[in-house]
Amino acid sequence: MVRVIMGKKGSGKTKQMIDLINSAVQTEHGNVVCIEKGEKLTFDIHYQIRLVEAGQYDIASYDALKGFVSGLYAGNYDITHIFIDSVTKIAGGDCNLETENFLDWLNAFSEKNSIKFTVTISDDASLASEGIKKYF
């Protein structure tokens, strides 16, 4: 399952993501991981959440992010939910067909490995393609 939270900067995406991350501690029966660019969530999320600062790993494309997510899971099969904050900032670029293809890949990965994904995208939700809107 992939869920996308999309909106312009200042629309409350991060607050919503923090609430979802912190509630996942109570509801998930496995490990929860949050991937972010920068260290803005460090003091806002529960200490049991594995917080990964993507800037330390030189992720510069969606292919690199696919490899990173795959490697996280390969190293820990107990992961049940991965949150990705500002996916376009992590992968570099705009919200476009590549983003849509990445979300489709995440969905297939999710179904194959029983992992939930929640992703935020900083862009106007009204401009999202139908391929992205299906994950709202």
- The pTM score is 0.95
Side-chain half-sphere exposure of 66, counting CA atoms within 13 A = 14
User: CATH no. for residue 43?
Assistant: 3.40.50.300
Contact in structure between 1 and 116 (CB atoms under 8 Å)? yes
Contacts of 45 (CB under 8 A, 6+ apart): 18, 21, 22, 34, 51
Summarize pLDDT for 97-106 with one digit per residue, the tens. 999 999 999 9
Domain tally, the chain: 1
Q: What residue numbers bound the domain in which 11 lies? A: 2-133
What lies within 8 Å, CB to CB, of 76 at 6+ separation is 31
What is the chain's percent helix, strand, coil content, to nearest 5? 45, 20, 35
Query: Binning pLDDT at 50, 70 and 90, where does residue 135 land?
Result: very high
Interval 30-77: pLDDT, tens: 999 999 998 888 899 999 999 999 999 999 999 999 999 999 999 999
